[in-house]
Chain A
């Protein structure tokens, strides 16, 4: 929270949202080994959020090792040359801290939430695993089972996950964004210890990491701790850049899955923009106008009025490279997927042809601004936001420009983004229909 906000800033912020307070409290340094450290002091509670953003994700994988970035994330908790497997978590929790981690197509993020009194212990633990990670063959096998269980939970036993994995794989013909982050089953079964070692050396170098610390901290002391624990870790040659650019899509692609499901699903994935693309704020507002809340267009038309869907959602991915803009429809049991697709298309064509109203733009802007504020009320939210902007959106300072960026979007820009991106030839459509229904239709 922003306890040190001055009275003057409150007035500005409350009236026009022109400025995000706290920018002057952010301290950023690059250590001599290339590691970036960003510290944001926020002393509302006696805790710290410490996130290590590693610039590696499933886009860095090739056939045979899909899922390795995510598997590696699991292995980062499983022992070093100085500590047995399990010690990392045991020491961390005994010091009052909890942790988690996630992997996306672009990044792997390690998160610690700790009482500020344990800060130095956590620095030591993080430095140890970046420097001395080791791989116990028995632990690799057991962790393989854990990741397979995660895959069954999120993909194999989830119709949504199953369809999304196929849509993503279909949407790219060249770029490794086609890789499922959890990994293809045959690859999960086959990773080797050598794969892990190569990966560690290549991607877990300090010069490939950005460490964010937010909370009850003194910036000077914190940066001194970073120098003490992280700076001795040697840098490595930077990883090879991903060369492949996805060629422009020339026609709609489709994937149809027939499943023992009750609820048919439709997913639409359009090629969109990278995180650093200046069109991102306009795209975000467009997605809000289409799916954010009960007043949004797709919700009104498909859910409330035509009752052809039970929910309409969207998600914008914005990574290092141009990523996907997703729309998700869940349909009632027995619903006609073609009718739902036609209804969706009609709304997309309407926004391309006629744009949005000023009222809709204002509404989306206010939603975006208020949500932006909600997102930075916690130390977690701030650490996530700083990392996202620093690593994926061209620098942390842009976080503080976000409100102005939303303010600057015009109706014309929204229509341009819709026209350019939401073309049929730029999308992959995924349909998951219920086995029973399909049989009936086939007999007719």
Chain B
């Protein structure tokens, strides 16, 4: 057994929920020394984009394929369609049924992961260089010839519902952003719980899956990034042969308006009657991936809640010992996603901890940063940046992300310069423009409602639901 000083570790990570959260985590941050290595971009006639980066250090090939769309397109009340479809892609495709597909992948030591985020269905994986043809064949089968069998859907859907129940028996901090996003973005597609809910998953039929596949999966929506030990010429030919004839998605990608920030504070209390700790999430609408203020925002968020000595962690952990950890982050999507701060503490100290978190946010607004803090954050962000751009897997994911969000390599190559150019005035501006005031936030608390209800009223109107409710929101 195992215990850590900062990051939460469990012995067997079965947190399905957490794996979805990873997809919307902010990009890793950059350093002077890192420039995008050469790669080739090819657009096929049907719209499919291929991104190829040779890296011959180890005999592995990593791919990262994304189909634009994802959970934001789930039909209302049937949240989880995109995510179930993603999983079904490897449950039988082409000539192989589910078992034979799994055996084929495992027999060559391959690895495939399927997933959905709000804005894409993601199929990624890695194979030994010698198995590159098989890799392309399997990827093409998954995307173009999935069997989508009803019996596989039934089994997977039942298991997904059980995974959600299991997650409610585990570390509840993993569920915070599901409740937070559903309440903050209510009525907007960014409020869709991509994993689905116990109630919504139960509604999903094979017809829903097939309709989504026909309308929202096709060559014009596809980005395939491959990085690793291959010849770009050969890989281009293999992928072009595999994908150039693929049909387009039948529907167009719908435009949605930007979500609106909330203007006054309110509270969602989720009753977890057996919990000995309270888990809280405080947030509002933040910024889009393409926001030009990225560098000052990263600097400020790092200082506020993005590293061990951050203001939040210093208060809630280091100074008071109220919690094992506290942090903040931006979810950066096409449109502004959430900015959020999260922590947890024992039931009896819940109000004290929330007060402290809100007061720390106030302090960010009133005191801002000084030159020492600015310099420390610049150096830290620069110093940690290359660690996210080390492997073929990271580069494949990075290339897909840039393409998905319409960003150029300047996003990586010029980041160090942008960080170094940040002045105190820039940080002051973004604090005022982007970081919410403590009376303009949504507060979500998971914990023992009977012990918390009265104390929470001072923060604003309290809406209540139960952890056992089969939805992530009251609606």
CB-CB contacts below 8 Å: B367-410 with A:
375-376, 379-380, 382-384, 386-387, 389-393
B108 touches A46 (CB 8 A): no
CB closest chain-B residue, reference A156: B276
A44 touches B390 (CB 8 A): yes
| Residue B454 at the chain A interface, CB threshold 8 Å | no
B109 touches A113 (CB 8 A): no
Question: Least Cβ distance of B135 to chain A in Å?
Answer: 12
| Residue A315 at the chain B interface, CB threshold 8 Å | yes
CB-CB under 8 A for A293 and B392, given A45-B33, A377-B60: no
B11 touches A10 (CB 8 A): no
Q: How many A-B residue pairs have CB under 8 A?
A: 270
* List of A residues within 8 angstroms of B12 by Cβ: 160, 313, 315, 326, 328
**How many of chain A's residues have a CB under 8 angstroms from any CB in B?**
101
CB closest chain-B residue, reference A77: B5
Question: Least Cβ distance of B98 to chain A in Å?
Answer: 7
B126 touches A102 (CB 8 A): no
Instruction: Fill in one digit per residue for B1-29: 1 if any A CB lies within 8 Å of its CB, else 0.
Output: 11111111111101000000000000000
A366 touches B126 (CB 8 A): no
* List of B residues within 8 angstroms of A252 by Cβ: none
| Residue A136 at the chain B interface, CB threshold 8 Å | no
CB-CB under 8 A for A113 and B173, given A145-B322, A157-B275, A263-B165: no
A332 touches B162 (CB 8 A): yes
Question: Least Cβ distance of A267 to chain B in Å?
Answer: 10
Q: For the complex, what is the distance from the CA of A174 to the CA of B98, rounded to whole Å?
A: 46
Instruction: Fill in one digit per residue for B432-449: 1 if any A CB lies within 8 Å of its CB, else 0.
Output: 000000000000000000
CB closest chain-B residue, reference A76: B5
CB-CB under 8 A for A93 and B129, given A1-B390, A304-B155, A307-B155: no
CB-CB contacts below 8 Å: A145-160 with B:
145-150, 152-154, 156-160
A149 touches B346 (CB 8 A): yes
B384 touches A377 (CB 8 A): no
* List of A residues within 8 angstroms of B109 by Cβ: 366-371
Task: In the complex, identify which listed stretch (A23-31, A161-169, A416-424) lies at the interface while the others stay far away.
Answer: A161-169
| Residue A235 at the chain B interface, CB threshold 8 Å | no
* List of B residues within 8 angstroms of A154 by Cβ: 3, 8-10, 171
B1 touches A153 (CB 8 A): no
CB-CB under 8 A for A102 and B3, given A153-B277, A332-B158: yes
- Could you pull out 8 A-B pairs where Cβ atoms are within 8 angstroms? A45-B387, A73-B5, A98-B308, A146-B324, A160-B10, A160-B11, A161-B10, A295-B99
Closest 5 CB pairs of A and B: A96-B383, A145-B321, A370-B109, A142-B321, A366-B109
Q: Which residues of B contact A (CB under 8 A)?
A: 1-12, 14, 31-34, 55-60, 90, 98-99, 102-103, 105-111, 126-130, 155, 158-159, 162-163, 165-166, 168-173, 229, 273-277, 307-309, 314, 317-324, 344-346, 375-376, 379-380, 382-384, 386-387, 389-393, 468
